[in-house]
A and B are shown apart, each in its own frame.
Chain A
Amino acid sequence: MSLIEITDVRKSFGSNEVLKGIDLDVEPGEVIAIIGKSGSGKSTLLRCINGLETISKGSISVAGAQLMDDEVHLKALRLKVGMIFQQFNLFPHLTVGGNVMLSQMVVKKTPRPVAEATARKMLERVGLSQKFDAYPDELSGGQQQRVAIARALAMQPIALLCDEITSALDPELVAEVLAVVRELAAEGMTLLMVTHEMKFARDVCSRVVFMHEGRVHEAGPPGEVFTNPQTPELKQFLGLH
């Protein structure tokens, strides 16, 4: 059984069908890059997996648990799957440490000392242990995004969803965030990432999924997808003619 099973998922906004039947199985430890044109439904797919959007049809299950639209099931799912956003979305009223500790304490009821120890460990992992008491607005974008990663990791998820997590960053800050992701991948974390960093996808990912008009148009190992695209749409997307 796969870790994440996405079966015939459809999602419409009003009369606009954005996902037109997505099938995708993700094995534990897989690192998947989702690529595709703007508006092809990449973000929507990730948001559905995290229950931020309710799907119109089909099913999603994570580690055997079905995604359902009530608070108990949603919470169970979100404990398994973390999400990192393009705009970081750190809590500006809390310190870096507070950001990483909050959900452990209120969702998992972890005692404060334990939560703090976990927070310090996770911040260490993303190379920001010295920023524990800083506020988000005192950090660079790259540092903020690394805190967001630590915050998600502190919940001990079995998979991470990353939606263009380097797109809001200045070019010189992209590398430090990707280095953290690369490390996570090496440690065996299951990752689903929407990205425009083709080189990174080629180096790090085990599979590349090309989405086009709400469907998985082409998928395969990066070697095949990038060097030998089958469909004209993917060729055009990659700039090969």
Chain B
Amino acid sequence: MIEFTTWDILRNLLLAARWTVVLSLVSFVGGGIVGLVLLFLRISKRKSARAFAKYYIELFQGTPLLMQLFIAFFGLGLFGIDVPAWLAAGLALILWTAAFLGEIWRGCVEAIGKGQWEASASLGMGRLQQMRFVILPQAMRIAVPPTVGFSVQVIKGTALTSIIGFVELSKAGTVVTNATFQPFTVYGLVALIYFALCWPLSKSSQILERKLNVAHRNH
């Protein structure tokens, strides 16, 4: 039997962690774009658009991410596409992320006082202009901390893609465990790598939040 040093284990895990990072970025950026669309639908004047966004968000927030991954993986297969794991993983994570970001951002938009809508309306601005020049610039400020905070959930969410066979940090953990028979060390290290990725984001989210609160109190 080959001997694995802790360094061998760590090196393999770190190599796989690159894919965790890539998938997280793709999901976050893609989810952000779709989430922005959802936000606009959710606060649209059209009832049907609002209802669609509402049910979309409830569906994706009310079911397990793992099931969404399975359905993307096997569901896309029904269209006769041979679905690679990365495609199903990316798609499901983007749609899932969008639901959460859309909802977070809606909260931020709704936190902007009615007076801002009324004042901009009374100056003759249309709805898109109000959003673009008055509401979003203010909402974006308060959206930063929870958005950064949610990126941690996205990174952790990518761990589930190992279950449909995408090889990232968690999958590598299983593979390396099967080769080394050292689950305690391997999963401990896997956890530490996730921690190293997530903790700075959690912390900055907290700090940003605190800064924002202080700024608010000074107004």
- Give yes or no for direct A-B contact (beta carbon below 8 Å): yes
Report A's interface with B, CB cutoff 8 A: 50-52, 71, 74-75, 78-79, 82-83, 85, 87, 89-93, 102-103, 106-108, 137, 148, 151-152, 155
**Cα of A75 to Cα of B120 in the assembled complex, Å:** 11
**Cα of A69 to Cα of B132 in the assembled complex, Å:** 22
Q: Report the minimal beta-carbon distance from A92 to chain B, rounded to whole angstroms.
A: 7
Residues of A within 8 Å of B122, CB to CB, are: 50, 52, 78, 82-83, 152
B134's contact among A51, A91, A148, by CB below 8 Å, is which?
Answer: A91
- The reply on B129 being an interface residue by CB < 8 A is yes
**Cα of A79 to Cα of B126 in the assembled complex, Å:** 12
Binding stretch for chain A, among B66-74, B111-119, B198-206: B111-119
Q: A107-B125, A137-B219, A152-B122 are in contact. List 16 more A-B contacts (CB 8 A).
A: A51-B121, A74-B121, A75-B124, A79-B124, A89-B115, A89-B116, A91-B134, A93-B141, A102-B134, A103-B125, A106-B125, A106-B133, A107-B123, A137-B218, A148-B119, A152-B123
Q: Quick check: A103 and B124 within 8 Å, CB to CB? A: yes
Q: 9 smallest A-B Cβ distances: which pairs?
A: A89-B119, A103-B123, A89-B115, A83-B122, A78-B124, A107-B124, A93-B137, A137-B219, A75-B124
Q: Report the minimal beta-carbon distance from B211 to chain A, rounded to whole angstroms.
A: 16
**Cα of A82 to Cα of B141 in the assembled complex, Å:** 29
**Cα of A206 to Cα of B120 in the assembled complex, Å:** 30
Residues of B within 8 Å of A155, CB to CB, are: 123-124
- The reply on B127 being an interface residue by CB < 8 A is yes
**Cα of A211 to Cα of B125 in the assembled complex, Å:** 31
**Cα of A156 to Cα of B119 in the assembled complex, Å:** 16
- The reply on B138 being an interface residue by CB < 8 A is yes
**Cα of A103 to Cα of B126 in the assembled complex, Å:** 10
Q: Quick check: B126 and A91 within 8 Å, CB to CB? A: no
Size category, B interface? 20 to 34
B123's contact among A71, A92, A93, A151, by CB below 8 Å, is which?
Answer: A151
A75 and B126 in contact, given A93-B138, A102-B133, A106-B133 (Cβ under 8 angstroms): yes
Q: Report the minimal beta-carbon distance from A122 to chain B, rounded to whole angstroms.
A: 13
Q: Report the minimal beta-carbon distance from B141 to chain A, rounded to whole angstroms.
A: 7
Contact digits for B150-186, partner A, Cβ 8 Å, 1 yes 0 no: 0000000000000000000000000000000000000
* Identity of the chain B residue whose Cβ is nearest the Cβ of A78 in the assembled complex: B124
Q: Quick check: A78 and B121 within 8 Å, CB to CB? A: yes
B119's contact among A75, A85, A106, A137, by CB below 8 Å, is which?
Answer: A85
Contact digits for B125-148, partner A, Cβ 8 Å, 1 yes 0 no: 111010011100110010000000
* Identity of the chain A residue whose Cβ is nearest the Cβ of B140 in the assembled complex: A93
* Identity of the chain B residue whose Cβ is nearest the Cβ of A72 in the assembled complex: B126
A85's contact among B115, B125, B137, B141, by CB below 8 Å, is which?
Answer: B115
